[in-house]
């Protein structure tokens, strides 16, 4: 699987190929490259209300199309779904991981947003103190 990781998320062919590898034999809670593209747009819209784009570098986003769904008790727990983790490199989003894992709480989850905001505040305070 590692040869399919580390590509630009806008490369639909590679996104589709990596999803196909992970979802081989799966019949439910699968994801399409079009959903990944839409989720990136949603994440960018949310991030742009919180941070300048120049500060997005290193931000990771977990995408899970089945995220937030509830399932009947007959599953004896939470079922698996396809999840894609992407990271902003400073100019584009790169796929960091594609896996089958337990369904997450949201379709689009920004993983390290508060850590990033804390880093920026610390940097601003240090810069102000040095001036």
Confidence at residue 124, expressed as pLDDT on a 0 to 100 scale: 76
pLDDT tens-digit profile, the chain (131 residues): 434 467 787 888 888 888 888 889 888 888 888 899 999 999 999 999 988 898 899 899 999 988 777 777 766 667 888 999 999 998 899 999 999 988 887 888 888 777 777 777 777 788 778 76
Q: C-alpha angle 27/28/34, rounded to 5°?
A: 100
Confidence at residue 3, expressed as pLDDT on a 0 to 100 scale: 41
pTM over 0.75: yes
Burial, 118: exposed, middle or buried (Cβ in 10 Å; 0-12, 13-18, 19+)? exposed
**b (16+ CB within 10 A) / e for 59-79:** bbbbbbbbbeeeeeeeeeeee
């Amino acid at each position: 699987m590692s040869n399919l990781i580390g590509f630009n998320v806008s490369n639909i062919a590679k996104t589709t190929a990596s999803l196909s590898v992970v979802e081989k034999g799966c019949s439910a809670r699968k994801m399409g490259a079009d959903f990944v593209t839409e989720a990136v747009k949603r994440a960018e819209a949310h991030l742009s209300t919180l941070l300048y784009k120049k500060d997005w570098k290193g931000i990771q986003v977990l995408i899970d199309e089945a995220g937030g769904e509830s399932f009947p008790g007959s599953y004896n727990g939470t079922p698996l779904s396809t999840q894609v983790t992407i990271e902003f490199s400073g100019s584009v989003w790169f796929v960091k991981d594609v896996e089958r894992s337990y369904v997450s709480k949201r379709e689009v989850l920004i993983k390290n947003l508060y850590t990033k905001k804390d880093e920026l505040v610390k940097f601003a305070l240090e810069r102000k103190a040095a001036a």
